Amino acid sequence: MPSRHSFVAGPALPSLFEIIKLEPEKEPWCAGYAPSQGRRCHARTNACGRSSAMALLHQGTKDLRAGRCIDELLEDLAPHVLCTRFHQSQASGLARRWQRKVRSFLDTPASSIRAERQTSRSSRSPYPGTTHGNMEERTALLYRRLRDTMEELRHLEAALDEPTFNASPAGDRDARHTSADVASISVRGSHTRNVHSAIISNSSVTRQTTESVNRPANTTPRPVQLHVDRQGSLLPPSSARPATVSNVAWISDEDTSRYDPAAARQAPVRASRSVAVIRREVAGECGICLCDLKTLQGENNEDEDEDTEDECDEMVETAGEETELDWCKARCGVNFHKHCIDQWLETAHAATCPACRSNWTG
C-alpha cells in the first residue's frame, strides 16, 4: 500500500538536509546521544561514512520532491552518521525520529510551505523590490567605488615607500572612508621622525659627554707617583717614602709608553696625566764604576782598595761639585756619578739608563 504522503510533491519542498537538520560535512560529529553525559556525542564519524550520508541525503531530497516514500532511505542513512564505537545501536531509533520529522513536515499545508519559502527567499535578497536594471546600476556603482579605493590604496603605498613622506592634514582631503587610514599613516610617520630626532639628539649628547670625559681639564691634574725599588720594579704609591720636590721628576704618558708596551697599544685618545719618578736615596755604589756614591761628597771609604780610591779621587777632580751626581728621571730614579753617566751616554749605542734601559732623561 503506498504511503499516504506519497502524493505530496512539488518544487516548493526544501531539501532533506533542512527537514531533519543534518549536515554531515559541516558537522562531522556523531548524531547519537550520550546518556552518561546528557548531550550529543562528540566523537567524529569517518570520512567514508560522511560521503555515503551525503549521497543518501541528496537522493532522499530527490525522492521527497518526486513524492516517493523515504522511510527505508532514512534507515540506511542512520548508521553512516553514528560513531562505530559507541552508538551504532541507536540507528533504528534515530531513523524513526527522522521519519516523524518528515511526516510532521509533510502534514503542513502546502500553501503555508510555499509562503514560508517565498518569505525566506525575500529575506535573503539583499535588495528587495529592485529590478534587474537597478541591480546593474548598483553593481556598476560598487565597481567604481572599488576602483577608486584601489587607486587610492596604490597612491598610499607609493607614498609610504618614499623616504620623505609628509602626509597632508585630514581637513584638506576628501571626506572618504580612507581618511582614517591616511591620518594613522601620518601619525606613524611623525612618530617615526620624532623617534629618529630623539636618537640623533641622544647620540650627540653621548658624543659630547665622551668628548668632555676625554678632553683634558683646565686645572692641572693630580699626578700619579710611581715608586721604584732598587731592582727597577714599580711599587704601589702607599709604600713609597715621601720625597722632596727636587727628587721628583714628572713624565708624561708619551715617556712611559717608551718602556711600557701596554701603554703604547692603548687607544689614540690620551689624557693629560703626569707620572712622578722619585729619586732614590744617595747610598751604595755607582752602577757604572762600582765606587761609593758618597765618595764625591767627601766621605771616603777607608775599606776600599787603593786603586778604587785613586780612581774615585780622579773622578772628583774631574766633576764639579754642583753636578757631581746624576739620576734617572725616566723611570727608576737610580743615582750615578755625573762623570760616569756622561761617559756611558757617549759610548753606548743608545742613550738609555744602565739600570732600567729607559731613554735617559737626566
Residues 157 and 254 in one domain: no
Q: In the structure, what pLDDT confidence band is assigned to residue 293 with cuts at 50, 70 and 90?
A: confident
156, part of any domain: yes
Domain with 49, as residue range(s), is 16-124
- Taking only the tens place, the pLDDT of each residue in 329-354 is 988 889 989 899 899 988 888 889 98
356, part of any domain: no
Tell me the three cell numbers of residue 154.
596604490
Decide the pairing of beta strands 224-228 and 39-40. Answer: unpaired
What pLDDT sits at residue 14? 84
b/e per residue 222-237 (b: at least 16 CB within 10 A): eeebbbbeeebeeeee
Residues 158 and 113 in one domain: no
Residues 232 and 310 in one domain: yes
What pLDDT sits at residue 239? 41
What pLDDT sits at residue 58? 92
What pLDDT sits at residue 31? 85
Q: In the structure, what pLDDT confidence band is assigned to residue 109 with cuts at 50, 70 and 90?
A: low
Tell me the three cell numbers of residue 308.
778604587
Nearest Cα to Cα of residue 282 among 241, 238, 335:
335
Nearest Cα to Cα of residue 166 among 182, 148, 149:
182
357, part of any domain: no
Residues 184 and 288 in one domain: no
Residues 326 and 262 in one domain: yes
- Taking only the tens place, the pLDDT of each residue in 171-180 is 444 445 444 4
Nearest Cα to Cα of residue 114 among 18, 15, 19, 12:
12
Tell me the three cell numbers of residue 278.
722619585
- Taking only the tens place, the pLDDT of each residue in 84-104 is 888 888 888 889 999 998 998
331, part of any domain: yes
Count CB-CB contacts under 10 A for residue 24.
Answer: 22
What pLDDT sits at residue 76? 92
Higher local confidence (pLDDT), 317 or 25:
25
Helices (H), 162-281: 179-214, 253-259, 261-264
What pLDDT sits at residue 148? 87
Count CB-CB contacts under 10 A for residue 270.
Answer: 14
What pLDDT sits at residue 340? 92
Nearest Cα to Cα of residue 355 among 325, 323, 330:
330
Residues 146 and 258 in one domain: no
Residues 257 and 331 in one domain: yes
Q: Which of 41-50, 70-79, 268-277, 289-298 has the highest mean pLDDT?
A: 70-79
Rounded percentage of the chain residues whose pLDDT exceeds 90: 9
Q: Of 158, 192, 213, which residue constitutes the final position of a domain?
A: 213
CA atoms within 13 A on the CB side of 340: 25
Q: In the structure, what pLDDT confidence band is assigned to residue 240 with cuts at 50, 70 and 90?
A: very low
Q: Which helix (H) or strand (E) holds 16?
A: helix 16-20
- Taking only the tens place, the pLDDT of each residue in 58-68 is 999 998 888 88
Number of structural domains found in the chain: 3
Helices (H), 260-337: 261-264, 306-318
352, part of any domain: no
State yes or no: pLDDT of 81 exceeds 80.
Answer: yes
Residues 27 and 85 in one domain: yes
Residues 20 and 117 in one domain: yes
Rounded percentage of the chain residues whose pLDDT exceeds 70: 50
Task: Taking the CA atoms of 68, 69, 72 and 75 in sequence, report the sign of the dihedral they define.
Answer: positive
What pLDDT sits at residue 33? 85
pLDDT-wise least confident of 160-169, 178-187, 247-256, 345-354: 178-187
The whole-model pTM stands at 0.31
Q: Report the alpha-carbon distance of residue 217 to residue 272 in Å, rounded.
A: 8
Count CB-CB contacts under 10 A for residue 280.
Answer: 22
Residues 105 and 29 in one domain: yes
**DSSP 8-state assignment for residue 33:** E
Residues 204 and 265 in one domain: no
20, part of any domain: yes
CA atoms within 13 A on the CB side of 357: 5
Higher local confidence (pLDDT), 272 or 354:
354
Q: Report the alpha-carbon distance of residue 216 to residue 266 in Å, rounded.
A: 17
Higher local confidence (pLDDT), 12 or 345:
345
